[in-house]
Structure 1
Amino acid sequence: MTTFVDRVELHVAAGNGGHGCASVHREKFKPLGGPDGGNGGEGGSVILTVDAQVTTLLEYHHSPKRKATNGKPGAGGHRTGADGHDLVLSVPDGTVVLDRQGNVLADLVGHGTSFVAAQGGRGGLGNAALASSRRKAPGFALLGEPGDARDIVMELKSVADVALVGYPSAGKSSLISVLSAAKPKIADYPFTTLIPNLGVVTAGDTVYTIADVPGLIPGASQGRGLGLEFLRHVERCSVLVHVLDCATLEPGRDPVSDLETIEAELAEYGGLEDRPRLVALNKVDVPDGQDIADLTRTSLEELGYRVFEVSAASRKGLRELSFAVAQIVTEARAAKPLEESTRIVLRPTAVDDAGFTITEEDGAFRIRGVKPERWVRQTDFSNDEAVGYLADRLARLGVEEKLWKVGAHEGDTVIIGAEDNAVVFDWEPTMAAGAEMLGRRGEDHRMDSPRPAVDRRRDKQKNRDAAEAEFLAFEALSSGRPAALEGDDEEE
């Protein structure tokens, strides 16, 4: 049963934004009280976060599809839709995130480090937010934007200070078991270790982590054995320790040839030339082991290596090896630059940046840009007012003027967006400038007629005025004083 996974392909999908609401406030004596449609909620994002308690990507191997929740649509009464919940995925320290083409998107090192793998969609504006002095009663709302959906690859590169490299059954797991509290599987057959083992070693005042890389054999960098799968775990290590078997019974093998083979595979993999190396001649406690160590030690030292004769069974030479490694780890840590405080980089938009580009493709004109493509996604094309609002926005951005400059004519095909998700239409310049057929865009013409409630109040006021005039005339007649006629001069 698989218990360790260090590479997975994951499909992540963020939540869609909620649609805005087109609503008109209504109550007694006020059937058209103005727009009151609320905005849609924001879609939830998919976020990768480093968790120190997680050591494998096994969870995502079994369930490789993850999706955040959608935002809720807005409602009347200026009610905004609820936001979708972010989906937070815990990953091990040292996880590298790549796209399907192999480009690095993020390198997650350190507890709490986060990366937004898929951004949630924006919520659409309701017609209350779209109202203005020129557009008092919009009869439309904007649609919510779809959330990002993408395929990513996650690779785990162990964060360790020291890597033990060598042939299968060279004794790497045994060394880790005696140098630290780790309890890896140990047996007397090749490829016993199928996953990188990690251990914590204390040498004086220095504490460092140590890992072994299983399955290195000739051709490992091309995929033979298990080396290609686990060589990535060496990349973050500061020190490489060659564990050479002095008791191997395989013909044609000896510590020097083993070292040359492993070094050739490391060179083929690349990127490890600057790492300091140590050599551990292991199993010197077995018969002939010490003799082979004595014969090869001089040759290895002539190659420039520091050599230690060790035995995991008798623990010979382990203290000297651990302190020598600790010294190199300390020097490597001191050589690293101090972490700088977080900087905010401001990249202002260029003065001549129009926010979009227009290119001619086989007689058609393709428009690309963040704003035009977002506006298209937000438009309800079944609503004429919404389509007119889109045309006005594009005209204000300068799209129509730019189309004239690049040689577009009425009736030409215009495409907005990428090939896999584009809107295609025949260009009609008058629609982009005014759309007389729609009148004043975004206006509810019912608002131009007198409100029935206003008419009723006006009639009631006239009735009250007439009743009051009649009462005053009756009172004047009953008192014997002639009633004043309308327009009479009181001084006369």
Structure 2
Amino acid sequence: MTTFVDRVELHVAAGNGGHGCASVHREKFKPLGGPDGGNGGRGGDVILVVDQDVTTLLDYHHHPHRKATNGQPGAGDNREGKNGTDLILPVPDGTVVLDGNGEVLADMVGQGTRFVAGQGGRGGLGNAALSSARRKAPGFALLGEPGEGRDIVLELKTVADVALVGYPSAGKSSLISVLSAAKPKIADYPFTTLVPNLGVVTAGETVYTIADVPGLIPGASQGKGLGLEFLRHVERCEVLVHVLDTATLESDRDPVSDLDAIEEELGQYGGLGDRPRVVVLNKIDIPDGKDLADMIRPDLEARGYRVFEVSAVARQGLKELSYALAEIVATARAAKPVQEATRIVIRPKAVDDAGFTVTQEGEGFFRVRGEKPERWVRQTDFNNDEAVGYLADRLNRLGVEDALLKAGARAMDGVAIGPEDNAVVFDWEPTVSAGAEMLGRRGEDHRFEAPRPASQRRRDRDAARDEAQGEYDGFSPF
């Protein structure tokens, strides 16, 4: 049964925004008290948060689809819809978030680090919020926006100070079990360790973490064996410790060739050339192992390695190794620059950025792309003529009509707003502003106008009566 997962594909969907409400206030002696439709609630976000108590991505392996709750629609009497609840997803320290193309979206290191993987949709405005001096009684409201949905990949890179690397059965698990309180599975056959093990070591005043990285064999960086799956776990370490088996039973292997093979794989993986190396000659409790260690130690030291002879079983040489690693880790920590507070990078738009683009795609067909036009289209109820007219006004004020004219669009050309897989297509009429004027002042209702004086009402009534009488008699009074 799988107990450790360090890479998963996660399908996240934020909550949809609630629709706005179109309502008119009514009460006794005041049947038309004005628009009072409330706004819709915001959809919940999907947020990844680093949690030190989480060490694996196993839960997301079994349940890869996660969705936040939707916002509630608005209601009359200026009642706003309830916001959707954010979905908090805890992830281990050292989790890297990538998009479907492999681009890094976030590198999450440190307790409490947050990343919004899916943005909740905005709630639609009710007709009370849409009313103005010119639009006193809107008969429509805006729809809530759909929440952001996308596929992301989570990769766990173990956050450890020291990484133990070496061939299977070299004694890495045994070594980490005696240096720390970790209890990995230990046996004498290859590939005993199928998951990275993490332990905490205390050496004097220094406390550091040590990880056992399994599965490194020749060809690991190209996907052979388990190495490629676990090489990422050595990226964040400060020290690489080569654990060499001086008592191997395989006739075609020796500690020096094992070291060269692992270094070759680390070099092909890349990014680890600046990490200090330490060599541990393990299993010196076996006579042949001790003899071989004494034989190859001068050669390794001549290469510049610090060499330690240990026996995890007999617990020999462990104290010297532990304090030496603590010294290297302390030096590396001191050399690191002080971590600065998180900075927000602001990228202002260019002064000539209109907020949208118009491109021609074939004869008589144009496409409009931009955050605002696409958002406005999503918020429009196309079953309501007044809402469609409001959309036309907004697009006209943004300059979409002028841009279409400059691009060569003519009457009845096809215009699409949005991407190819989700666009609104219509036949363009180049007199959008004139059409808007012909529709009148949208949202105005004479029932909400101030009452006219009695004398003016009498004059209007007499004029209407005379006009009707003239038409009845077959002539016009004018």
Q: TM-score, normalised by structure 2?
A: 0.92
Deviates more, 1:59-68 or 1:362-371: 362-371
- Deviation string 1:296-339 (CA, Å, 9 cap, x unpaired) is 11221222211111111122211111111111111111111111
Give 1:176 shift.
Answer: 0.4
Contact kept in structure 2, 1:35 and 1:127, CA below 8 Å: yes
CA distance in 1, matches of 2:281, 2:53: 35
Q: Secondary structure at the match of 2:69?
A: coil
Q: Secondary structure at the match of 1:421?
A: coil
Give 1:223 shift.
Answer: 1.5
Alignment of 1:375-454 (within 5 A): 375-444=376-445, 447=448
- The residue number in structure 1 matching 2:362 is 362
Alignment of 1:157-236 (within 5 A): 157-236=157-236
Q: Secondary structure at the match of 1:25?
A: coil
Q: Secondary structure at the match of 1:402?
A: helix
- The residue number in structure 1 matching 2:465 is none
Alignment of 1:128-143 (within 5 A): 128-143=128-143
- The residue number in structure 2 matching 1:353 is 353
Alignment of 1:142-157 (within 5 A): 142-157=142-157
Give 1:437 shift.
Answer: 4.7
Contact kept in structure 2, 1:389 and 1:442, CA below 8 Å: no
Q: Secondary structure at the match of 1:429?
A: coil
Contact kept in structure 2, 1:124 and 1:145, CA below 8 Å: yes
- The residue number in structure 2 matching 1:259 is 259
Contact kept in structure 2, 1:139 and 1:444, CA below 8 Å: no
CA distance in 1, matches of 2:91, 2:305: 37
CA distance in 2, matches of 1:431, 1:225: 65
Give 1:157 shift.
Answer: 0.5
Give 1:341 shift.
Answer: 2.7
Give 1:447 shift.
Answer: 4.3
Deviates more, 1:150-159 or 1:347-356: 347-356
Give 1:448 shift.
Answer: 5.9
Deviates more, 1:427-436 or 1:3-12: 427-436
Letter in 1 for 2:83: D
Contact kept in structure 2, 1:15 and 1:70, CA below 8 Å: yes
CA distance in 2, matches of 1:75, 1:433: 34
CA distance in 2, matches of 1:300, 1:317: 18
Give 1:381 shift.
Answer: 0.6
CA distance in 1, matches of 2:123, 2:188: 61
Alignment of 1:272-291 (within 5 A): 272-291=272-291
Contact kept in structure 1, 2:156 and 2:233, CA below 8 Å: yes
- The residue number in structure 1 matching 2:75 is 75
CA distance in 2, matches of 1:159, 1:343: 22
Letter in 1 for 2:354: A
CA distance in 2, matches of 1:383, 1:449: 27
Give 1:444 shift.
Answer: 3.7
- The residue number in structure 1 matching 2:467 is none
Q: Considering only CA atoms, is the larger Rg found in Structure 1 or Structure 2?
A: 1
Contact kept in structure 1, 2:40 and 2:80, CA below 8 Å: yes
Contact kept in structure 1, 2:396 and 2:432, CA below 8 Å: no
- Deviation string 1:373-400 (CA, Å, 9 cap, x unpaired) is 1101000011111011001001111111
Letter in 1 for 2:49: T
Give 1:213 shift.
Answer: 0.7
CA distance in 1, matches of 2:55, 2:138: 54
- The residue number in structure 1 matching 2:341 is 341
CA distance in 2, matches of 1:445, 1:253: 95
- The residue number in structure 1 matching 2:127 is 127
Give 1:353 shift.
Answer: 1.4
CA distance in 1, matches of 2:445, 2:279: 83
- Deviation string 1:28-56 (CA, Å, 9 cap, x unpaired) is 22221110000000000000001110101
Contact kept in structure 2, 1:385 and 1:438, CA below 8 Å: no
Contact kept in structure 2, 1:44 and 1:119, CA below 8 Å: yes
CA distance in 1, matches of 2:318, 2:434: 82
Contact kept in structure 1, 2:393 and 2:436, CA below 8 Å: no
CA distance in 2, matches of 1:269, 1:98: 19
Q: Secondary structure at the match of 1:374?
A: helix
- The residue number in structure 1 matching 2:30 is 30
Give 1:439 shift.
Answer: 2.1
Letter in 2 for 1:405: K
CA distance in 2, matches of 1:67, 1:381: 27
Letter in 2 for 1:64: P
Contact kept in structure 2, 1:143 and 1:379, CA below 8 Å: yes
User: In 2 relative to 1, CA 63–387 (structure 1 residues): closer, same or farther, beyond 3 Å?
Assistant: same
Give 1:436 shift.
Answer: 4.3
Q: Secondary structure at the match of 1:288?
A: helix
Give 1:61 shift.
Answer: 0.6
- The residue number in structure 1 matching 2:473 is none
Extract unaligned runs of 5+ from structure 1: 459-492
CA distance in 2, matches of 1:416, 1:117: 26
CA distance in 2, matches of 1:188, 1:448: 91
- The residue number in structure 2 matching 1:105 is 105
Contact kept in structure 1, 2:401 and 2:432, CA below 8 Å: no
Contact kept in structure 2, 1:392 and 1:433, CA below 8 Å: no
Alignment of 1:12-31 (within 5 A): 12-31=12-31
Give 1:361 shift.
Answer: 1.5
- Deviation string 1:240-284 (CA, Å, 9 cap, x unpaired) is 000000000112100000001101111111111111101000001
CA distance in 1, matches of 2:408, 2:187: 76
Q: Secondary structure at the match of 2:431?
A: helix
Q: Secondary structure at the match of 1:96?
A: strand
CA distance in 2, matches of 1:433, 1:260: 79
CA distance in 1, matches of 2:178, 2:402: 75
- The residue number in structure 1 matching 2:7 is 7
CA distance in 1, matches of 2:345, 2:8: 32
Letter in 2 for 1:178: V
- The residue number in structure 2 matching 1:473 is none
CA distance in 2, matches of 1:340, 1:260: 38
Q: Secondary structure at the match of 2:154?
A: strand
- The residue number in structure 2 matching 1:45 is 45
Deviates more, 1:399-408 or 1:255-264: 399-408
Letter in 1 for 2:127: N
Deviates more, 1:3-12 or 1:418-427: 418-427
Give 1:348 shift.
Answer: 3.1
Superposed CA RMSD in Å reads: 1.7
Deviates more, 1:311-320 or 1:375-384: 311-320
Letter in 2 for 1:145: E
Give 1:342 shift.
Answer: 3.6
Q: TM-score, normalised by structure 1?
A: 0.90
